[in-house]
Structure 1
Amino acid sequence: MYPESGIVYKYFDLIDGFIRVRLLGDGESLPGLSSSNERPPDRREYRALVVHHCVVELEDNVLPVVRRIYPDDEAAAQDLLYQICIDVNPKLEIHSVSLPAGENGTENIESQEGAERLAKSAPGLEKSLLKEVVGQDSAVRNICRSIRKAACGLKDPDRPIGTFLLVGRTGTGKTELSKALSRHLHGRSPVRIDCSEFALPHETAKLIGAPPGYVGHNEGGTLTEALMRDPWSVVLFDEIEKGHEKLHHMLLQILDEGRLTDSKGNTADFRNAVVLLTSNVGTADYAKAANKMGFGQDGSLSTSDFDDITRNALTRDFRPELLNRLDGILTFQSLDKKSRARITSMRLKGIAGRMEKAKIAIKWTPSLAKQ
């Protein structure tokens, strides 16, 4: 290998060999980035632009080898090549790049697309969710009201679309509602944070990235990176009571300002996100109260008693500054027999649909769902 001006050799694992990478000079920038009112590239397009400009003979020598050895992993190869290019040219890292606006300012196309998608989904959202989330009509209606408010442009511009705490016994549909909401709004799963994994103070660094000087600083945080990729998301903090107090403090910034700063100083925007927290606090209190007299003939709690117990449990386990920043606290009642039968029927239909693809027919009597 002989030295070439402006070229460095970097080892590429997938082909077990060195590739040539272009080293940009101090005054040199990445060509192809528009400074006009045209649509700026998204994350995937930007990475492809970096790779195609920096990797010498990409199409002629590098990608043909990758396609021959790993025919199904070209996307993964592109990601690895992007990291190599950034190692050589740190200034091309996507969070370090600023694009000048045109004379009239560059429109945020992704924001427009997200707003249009929200406006299209909002009218029929409540009806669709009520079909999928059984027995929790009040919670569904409250969340959908916030979605419609945002679609009409009436939401607070500096806060998330909606921030709700879903509280109730396990198995009442809290997580299912968040999944269904994300599926209908964005066609994908929610950004899920299992708060039991952040019970210790140092573990919260995973969400925003490790501090400078620590292992993993260049990798970014799981939460902030997800929102930087797509600010239009449903963010689920599952079992929030199990998270450390540092996680709760982090939530205050999200709920109050609609943004969160990662360890590199980059800002993740939550203003177009729906933030849902789930909690099982009060479960033991429900069981104790249901065993006492005066709560109904079948031992179940009335709605008012259920709400009172929930409110007392929340006051005991959460700081008021967190609860006061939420748009609503939605209690999930235990499912009655009719709701359980309906859910069972839905699950059986789902199983039958999957088995039908294997050319296996499944039938059941109506009484099965009621058992």
Structure 2
Amino acid sequence: MQTMTELLDQTENGLLECKVCFEKYNQQKKRRPRNLPCGHVMCLECVTSLAHPRSFKLECPFCRRACKSSETSDCLPLLHLMEILSSSTNNALVSGRTIGTGEDMSTPASRILSFHLSFGGWGILINPTGTAVCQRSGCVAVAHDGKKRIKLFTFNGSCVQQFGERGQAGNDIRYPIDVAVTLDGHIVVTDSGERSVKVFDFNGRGKLVISQSFCLPWGLDTTPQNDIIMTDSEAGTLYRLTADFKKGELKEVKRLYSNLCTPKKVAVSWTSGAIGVIEHLMAKGPSYGSTRVKIFTADMQLISQVDTFGLNLVFPSKIFANAITFSREGHIIVTDGYNQAVFCLGKPEEFPVCKPIITQGLSYPLALTYTEDSYLIVLDGGDHSLKVYSAS
């Protein structure tokens, strides 16, 4: 035990502090460890301070090799090491200490989650945009910008199927935005390149193309009735698509709600049928404009809504929600790409309660989904990977 304690102390002092300013690394923007092209590491604050204000060039203080601040990148080994070393802290939080609100954290969805595993990575996934779980097979579907636009993984990260090569007749996908999986195992994709929704079977054979004069189809999710809920970001509209996916027959395209402000990600609760939508209120503004989370009943009655300013009233940091899902208990879960975190906003009737459940180890979370046995899968666009978390 004494040896392990000494090893941890040496690790924290030798590896987990910046050798320029001697501040400890952390997951926050200023103190995130950054790799220089020469292989040396320093925190982002020091990179910014050393870079020329106009040319953004700097010299490594250890070997004097020149580079630009844009050529630096997150030091993933150190970030992963910090995540491992913080697991004991996370376990203490899980045991009952409240975060931010002083409320009970007895339900799994509102606890601090523990990192379980990750898979994918650059080269396997390229600029991924959406993910979904097939409840029938347990496979994880991912939409990305690789040669084969859709990849299907087993839960341990083995790729079992891929399809959707651009220009290939029968299963062409140009620019996938989001993906959903129906109850009978069909893969549904929003293709912004052709402004359509495309349906494939598990083997990648095209079954149905739905266009219906959509402006920019974006977010997708499946209902307990095996319908598809879809947002049209440009039109500001929410649709329900009903089809016989096995036969490839479209039955109905119903407009559920209009006058939304740039709606993107959407989620459906399998507990109550509630629908959650994320609106982007400043789509043409800065990278992190204000966002708003809207929650509707299954029959599209607005339950409640909260934007970035409203969340800032119940949580000390601004939250810019960019993806949404519901836990198996019906809690609203959102990702925050700006703070590299995942938050639980409570159930619709208590919304918004704001509790962070993942605070470390994420670069840019942009999609998330739950498995049948309540593992949370987060799609991290920063390092092109899927990260799996559990409540135990």
TM-score bin, normalised by smaller chain: under 0.3
Q: TM-score, normalised on structure 2?
A: 0.25
Q: TM-score, normalised on structure 1?
A: 0.26
Q: Counting helix residues as a fraction of each chain, which structure ranks higher?
A: 1
